[in-house]
Amino acid sequence: MSDWNRSTQEIHLSAIRPEMTAAIEQHLETNNLGRILDDALICIETTSEKKKKGLFGGGGQTIIECAILTPTWLVLAVKGKDPGAGVLSVQLKDMTFTNYADSPGYKLIPDTGIEVSGVFTGRVGMHGNQRIGKFVGLGAEPAAGKFLALLAQTVQATRR
């Protein structure tokens, strides 16, 4: 059972939280990505709330994650308790994804979402662009299923 309660909804690009919008715009500008979001296929927002465990077991932490899918890019923005947001992007032709439930990590830490692996644009670790894996949490709502189906279809289209 996951340590997180996750809820995913489809949103319009204009409904992305202002601090995330600012971080996304800065990311696009810094990495010279241009207007890649103009043809966005879907935008989802996942709210993840840490479950309280035991008498002193934390909880209460909330993370907001936004995923924007275009015909050629996946853009991910994450906002925690700190001001601002972090943003990464990856070209679909350079990435793979798997359902987290099918990964080896699921047996150790059960959760719901996907593992995205690819060459991400943006500041990743201590190096620039490198191939990394990134967990993207998803809820059980229909919006998450729609996003997954569209992601699979769109990634497949880049392979033709």
Q: Give CA–CA dist 48/3, Å, rounded.
A: 10
- Residue 79 has which token pair? 């906002």
Place of tokens 């719901």: 112
Return the domain boundaries, the chain: 4-158
Average pLDDT over residues 12-24: 95
What's this model's pTM, rounded to 2 decimal places? 0.89
Average pLDDT over residues 33-40: 96
Query: pLDDT > 90: what percent of the chain?
Result: 65
pLDDT of residue 53: 67
Taken in order 32, 129, 133, 20, the sign of the CA dihedral is negative
Which CATH number does 4-158 carry? 2.30.29
The pLDDT tens digits of the residues spanning 40-82 come to: 999 999 999 988 765 566 667 889 999 999 999 999 999 988 8
The pLDDT tens digits of the residues spanning 105-141 come to: 888 888 899 999 998 886 555 455 567 889 999 999 9
pLDDT of residue 59: 66
The CA–CA distances, whole Å, from 66 to 30, 62, 129 equal 19, 13, 21
